[in-house]
């Protein structure tokens, strides 16, 4: 994809990688010195004084490794967020793609209905001119013609809006997208034929294993855990060793200093309590997210099965209506019915076709919803290991 949100996610990952490098940095030693001159009132050997001291900090309780561990979890979380962003974009693109296909199918159906309605108006106009139809029948047919014209115009406007939406989701200019030819969607029967094997197994396990947001939540919990470990480690203060040399009025003095913070008073208990509560919060949020994912998986699967049955019913009704239209065509050819009755029969078939178009769209939406819930394409055995690496590549 070319969407700028992916660039943002990658930039956040690079920032996290930089933080990972800085987390391993060791504290630097410091150097201090001074110089002075006395008035030699005490007849010292020398009137001069100067000193040089080096402070060498030493971290205790494995704090550096804990910081590195926390930074690694932060980097992994940012890396997973790239894949999560890419998947969200995929879902949005798929949803808009199915909306565009549905819009095109509706345009085709409405174009047919417009032709049939115009034919009915012409027939009623001829009958009215011959005194065989009332003014009310003619007016009603014209009203229905105007209604379908308005619906067709609405769908044409929707096509422009959906194309703009698709361009935004792809991160491409609208002029590029308008020149594209949308590929036909995969056959629902073919996709479901492959997906049945996956759907027959535990969708709950698939969702829990595949969901990137769950893995990100686990990384957040790990970060909270490492923060707690760091606060516990801070109970043990760092030590600073300070060797120094002093020349004072002719005397040469070597010394070794040792300094540390007095953490024995409160043992960092407030920071530890705060970090512990943060860990408990992350654990509760993970449990809540996990429960939500389980419910979404079962609900999405049930919705797909229900929609699949509805699609099958609409296909059956459409086939019956096609048979009825053929029968009416034969009657018309035999002179047993007039053209108005035949056109009405075609409208009935078109009504069934509308229902079938809507059922197909609902089926595509349900498939996309289940894919998004599982974060796994229904027509594949699983997400390839290269998916995440590809998402991370500039």
DSSP string, 46-86: -SEEEEEEEEEEE--TTHHHHHHHHHHHHHHHHHHHHHHHH
Percent of the chain with pLDDT over 90: 73
**Domain range summary for the chain, segments of one domain joined by +:** 4-392
Q: Give the H or E element holding residue 380.
A: none
Confidence of residue 265 (pLDDT cuts 50, 70, 90): low
Burial degree of 75 (CB within 10 A; 0-12, 13-18, 19+): buried
Listed ranges 43-57, 122-136, 143-157; the one with the highest mean pLDDT: 143-157
Convert the pLDDT of each residue in 62-104 to its tens digit.
Answer: 999 999 999 999 999 999 999 999 999 999 999 999 999 999 9
Residue 345 contacts residue 328 (beta carbons within 8 Å): yes
Q: Is residue 14's pLDDT more than 90?
A: yes
As a whole number of angstroms, the distance between CA 351 and CA 109 comes to 9
Which residues are bridge partners to 245 per DSSP? 52, 254
Q: Is residue 201's pLDDT more than 80?
A: no
Other Cβ atoms within 10 Å of 316 Cβ, number: 12
User: What is the C-alpha R_g of the chain?
Assistant: 37
pLDDT of residue 383: 35
- The CATH class of the 4-392 domain is mainly alpha
pLDDT of residue 198: 64
Convert the pLDDT of each residue in 26-38 to its tens digit.
Answer: 999 999 999 888 7
Residue 233 contacts residue 271 (beta carbons within 8 Å): no
| Both structure tokens of 68 | 């590195």
| Both structure tokens of 49 | 């004084």
What's this model's pTM, rounded to 2 decimal places? 0.84
Q: Is residue 348's pLDDT more than 70?
A: yes
Which residues are bridge partners to 246 per DSSP? 51, 253
């Amino acid at each position: 994809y070319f969407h700028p949100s992916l660039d943002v996610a990658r930039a956040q990952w690079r920032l996290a990688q930089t933080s990972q490098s800085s987390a391993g940095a060791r504290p630097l030693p410091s150097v201090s010195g001074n110089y002075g001159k006395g008035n030699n009132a005490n007849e010292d050997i020398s009137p001069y004084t100067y000193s040089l001291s080096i402070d060498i900090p030493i971290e205790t309780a494995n704090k550096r490794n804990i910081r590195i561990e926390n930074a690694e979890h932060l980097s992994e979380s940012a890396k997973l967020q790239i894949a999560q962003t890419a998947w969200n974009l995929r879902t949005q693109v798929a949803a808009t793609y199915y909306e565009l296909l549905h819009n095109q199918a509706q345009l085709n159906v409405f174009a047919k209905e417009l032709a049939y309605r115009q034919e009915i108006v012409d027939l009623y106009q001829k009958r009215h001119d011959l005194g065989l139809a009332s003014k009310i029948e003619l007016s009603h047919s014209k009203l229905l013609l105007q209604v379908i014209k308005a619906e067709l115009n609405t769908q044409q406007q929707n096509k422009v809006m959906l194309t703009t939406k698709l361009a935004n989701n792809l991160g491409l200019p609208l002029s590029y997208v308008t020149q594209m030819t949308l590929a036909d969607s995969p056959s629902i029967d073919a996709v479901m034929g492959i997906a049945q094997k996956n759907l027959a197994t535990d969708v709950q396990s698939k969702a829990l294993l595949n969901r990137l947001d769950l893995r990100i939540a686990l990384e957040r919990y790990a970060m909270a855990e490492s923060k707690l470990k760091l606060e516990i480690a801070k109970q043990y203060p760092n030590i600073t060793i300070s060797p120094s040399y002093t020349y004072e009025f002719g005397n040469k003095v070597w010394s070794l200093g040792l300094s540390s913070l007095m953490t024995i008073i409160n043992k960092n208990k407030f920071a530890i309590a705060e970090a512990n509560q943060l860990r408990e919060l992350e654990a509760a949020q993970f449990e809540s997210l996990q429960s939500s994912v389980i419910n979404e998986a079962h609900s999405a699967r049930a919705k797909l099965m229900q929609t699949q049955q509805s699609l099958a019913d609409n296909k059956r009704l459409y086939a019956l209506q096609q048979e009825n239209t053929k029968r009416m065509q034969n009657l018309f050819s035999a002179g047993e019915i007039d053209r108005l009755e035949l056109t009405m029969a075609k409208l009935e078939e078109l009504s069934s076709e509308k229902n079938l178009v809507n059922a197909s769209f609902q089926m595509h939406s349900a498939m996309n919803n289940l894919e998004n819930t599982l974060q796994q394409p229904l027509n594949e055995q699983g997400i390839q290991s290269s998916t995440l690496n590809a998402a991370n590549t500039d």
